[in-house]
Amino acid sequence: MKKYILTLIAASVLFSCADTKKQEKLLLDSVIAIHDKVMSSDEQLMKNKMVLDSLIKSNPSDSTKMYLKQVDDADNAMSDWMHKFDAENKGKSHQQIIDYLTDQKKRITAIDSLINIAVNSSNKYLNTTIAKK
């Protein structure tokens, strides 16, 4: 009887470990998926940044400076996040990993919004500014 109980306990421990690893992997995958989406928007952000930089050299208006700052802030937020993000989480408990990844998912989602706003607003500004010339 004791053998069966020990076997049952060992099996439940193994299955629970597998479930926690699966949960961690799914959460990490969702963070990475948002990151990948953000990176596709980041390309347009960099294009707008180059155009705004050129505009400032020829016409340093307050509007151009404001949009460049918005683009720079979004770019810096993404760079900071990427430099600080730790996908490995070595030596942390399951709960610490889940808490960390949940926080990182919130952060990268906020950065996604920040980049989308910067891209959309700078696109509108550039389209009207360049159309006037």
Report the share of the chain in percent with pLDDT over 90.
Answer: 66
Higher-confidence position of 34 and 10: 34
Higher-confidence position of 11 and 116: 116
**98 pLDDT above the threshold of 90:** yes
Higher-confidence position of 6 and 21: 21
Predicted model pTM: 0.80
Instruction: Check residue 64 and give its pLDDT.
Output: 93
Rounded to the nearest integer, the mean pLDDT of the chain is 86
User: Which of 2-6, 20-24, 40-44, 108-112 reaches the highest mean pLDDT?
Assistant: 108-112
Banded pLDDT at 104 (limits 50, 70, 90): very high
DSSP string, the chain: -HHHHHHHHHHHHHHHHHHHHHHHHHHHHHHHHHHHHHHHHHHHHHHHHHHHHHHHHH---HHHHHHHHHHHHHHHHHHHHHHH--S--TT--HHHHHHHHHHHHHHHHHHHHHHHHHHHHHHHHHHHHHHH-
**79 pLDDT above the threshold of 90:** yes
